[in-house]
Structure 1
Amino acid sequence: MKSPSVVGILGGMGPAAGADFARLFVRACAAQLPSLGLPVSDQSFPEHWLAQVPVPDRTAALSAPKAEMPGAHQPLDPMLQALGKLAALGATTVAVACNTAHAWHGLLQQRFPQIEVLHVAREVARTLQLQGVREVGLLATTGTYRAGLYDSVLRDAGIVCHAPNDAERACLMAGIYQGVKVNNLAHARACFEPVAQQLTQRHHLSTLILGCTEIPLALPAVTDHPQLQLIDPAWVLAQALAQRAYQGLATNTVQGTPSAEMF
């Protein structure tokens, strides 16, 4: 029987988010195995490699003038080095466990054309289209907003995207940097939840994208909005990576196109 493909995870941004992505990937594989007629056992999971590398701050790099950012401080070089290691280990598809890092997606894909580097915003847009969602709010880093990571992808998918105002964005950044990244999840939630509530009420939303891998770690739900759907791009990306690992074995999917059950 053909084995699953080798896949990779580019993490370290931060380490907790990379480790959590590996957990989500294993969960996604376990959910997909029954549809392939395979048992959920150690031997059924694909070979996968997690590269946890220290990567300079992505938002800071996107915010600073290029003249003030020497090459050694740019996120691209360590990401390329990690991707090279994953390629050497035989990875055919790689997921980048950081939303903001996708600002460099094109350069990563260009340098390693033999590997499919999944694009988180495209995978999220496909998921929302399948669900019939036409309007969302986006909680993310200022770097992700500045790069317009989700804007054009969602617009091309016919989905209107609402972003927080400047004060709310600052609150999100405080929750990420003074909350999740220093393991203070209570502080992080106190920062994230008011922004989620205000954005939801202002635009009468039923769906929010938690567009930073740290945000879902501290915001599993939004008080007073029990029906609000929170889309975790890391989970969507983990499902897409699992689909790529097993696509040669799939019997209920079209090559390269995930079935609706994935979402």
Structure 2
Amino acid sequence: MPVASSIASEPPLAPAARKVGILGGMGPAAGADFVRLFVGACEARLRASGSPVSDQAFPEHWLAQLPVPDRTLALLENGPSPFGGMVSGIEGLRSHGVVSIAMACNTAHAWHHKLQRSYPDVELLHIVHETVKRLAAQRIASVCLLATQGTYSLGSYQAALAEHGIACHLPTQAEREQVMRGIRDGVKAGDLALATRLFSTVARRMVERHGCDSLLLACTEIPLALHGVPGHAGARLIDPAQVLAQALADRAYACAGAGR
């Protein structure tokens, strides 16, 4: 086949999309999984709009994976600040011309305001705001919140949920410690079986105690190991990272028309 004919048969390039970035490394598995969620969100937008799904239809997106200090330790135990690491990641993403950035870590949003103030030329999406806005639109009345100790201490989800009239149920202190063990000794250490066992136990207890069938998985590593609640097949698992990925896809295609 002539070269010219081969080139002509390739799918046309999609309208230029805006460059977006993902600040990962908190931990790396969650950052890598966020890329999967983002690509899935972009594909859904293309299909919904009737646009061809091809390699060329996806927006340019950059992932910064840096060894950022533990956010919960920084908040609760005066550990090393992750701010410098996050700044390095944002600087790298800005160098590629991104206009919107998603942070693939719930607890890292403790530094969101300071980071956004430092980089007013880049939109730094807020995972709590995007998630609670979605829950309110879906008229969800109550949720059980699974998160890190650092995220609980911030109270950002609790305050945002209350503002929208959504009841928020929290684990006991012992259950929170189980969740943290699942994150650190489970997901971060590569032992997903341990993480699944610990997360599932806490999730089941909370659903049964509060009669709530919606669980908000407010740590990007919890969904990597929790895929259902034992004995409660109808329980709904809500992943803020997925909501954030969809919001980032919205920003990427804002000027391209895909998915409108």
TM-score clears 0.5: yes
Q: CA deviation at 1:127?
A: 1.2
Contact 1:100/1:149, CA 8 A, preserved across alignment: no
Deviations 1:163-211 (A, max 9, x none): 1010000000010001000110110011111110111111110100011
Q: Tell me what 1:219 maps to.
A: 226
Tell me, what secondary structure is at the counterpart of 1:49?
strand
Q: Which amino acid aligns with 2:156?
A: L
* TM-score, with structure 2 as normaliser: 0.92
**Native 8 Å contact 1:179 1:186 kept in 2:** yes
Q: Which moved more, 1:45-54 or 1:146-155?
A: 146-155
Match status 1:3 vs 2:16: yes
Which residue of structure 2 lines up, in the alignment, with residue 257 of structure 1? none
Aligned to 1:53: 66
**Contact 2:46–2:258 under 8 Å retained in 1:** no
Match of 2:37 in 1: 24
**Residue from 44, 51, 65 that aligns with 2:57:** 44
Cα offset for 1:37? 3.6
Query: What secondary structure is seen at the aligned counterpart in 1 of 2:215?
Result: strand
User: Cα distance, 1:46 vs. partner?
Assistant: 0.3
Alpha-carbon distance, 1:250 to partner:
3.3
Q: In the aligned structure 2, how far is the partner of 1:113 from the partner of 1:202?
A: 44
Q: Work out which of the residue numbers 161, 170, 175 in structure 2 matches 1:163.
A: 170
Is residue 14 of structure 1 aligned with residue 27 of structure 2? Answer: yes
1:64 is displaced (CA, Å) by 2.1
Query: TM-score, normalised to structure 1's length?
Result: 0.91
> Number of aligned pairs?
247
Contact 2:45–2:259 (CA<8 Å) still a contact in 1? no
Aligned residue number for residue 248 of structure 2: 241
RMSD: 1.3
Which residue of 150, 153, 159 maps to 1:146? 153
Deviation at 1:251, TM superposition (A): 7.0
Which residue of 2 is the match for residue 95 of structure 1? 102
Gaps of 5+ in 2: 1-13
Q: Which residue type is aligned with residue 127 of structure 1?
A: R
Q: What amino acid does structure 1 have at the position aligned with 2:200?
A: E
Secondary structure of the structure 2 residue equivalent to 1:250: coil
Shift of 1:2: 4.0
CA deviation profile, 1:68-114 (whole Å, cap 9, x unmatched):
x5xxx210111011111111211111000001101111011111111
Distance in 1 between residues matched to 2:219 and 2:143, nearest whole Å: 15
Larger radius of gyration: 2
The change in CA–CA distance for 1:99 and 1:26 in structure 2 (over 3 A counts) is: same
Give unmatched runs, 5+ long, in structure 1: 254-263
Matches of 1:191 and 1:37 in 2, distance apart? 42
Cα distance in 1, alignment partners of residues 205 and 178 from structure 2: 12
What is the match of residue 180 of structure 1?
187
Q: Percent identity?
A: 52
Alpha-carbon distance between aligned partners in 2 of 1:235 and 1:185, rounded to the nearest angstrom: 20
**Is the Cα contact below 8 Å between 1:102 and 1:149 reproduced in 2?**
no
Deviations 1:28-85 (A, max 9, x none): 10010123342110000000000000100000000024xxx5xxx2101110111111
Alpha-carbon distance in structure 1 between the residues aligned to 2:182 and 2:235:
20
The worse-fitting range, judged by mean Cα deviation, of 55-64 and 79-88 is 79-88
In structure 1, C-alpha distance between the alignment counterparts of 2:240 and 2:195, rounded to whole Å: 18
Partners of 1:219 and 1:208 in 2: how far apart?
Answer: 11
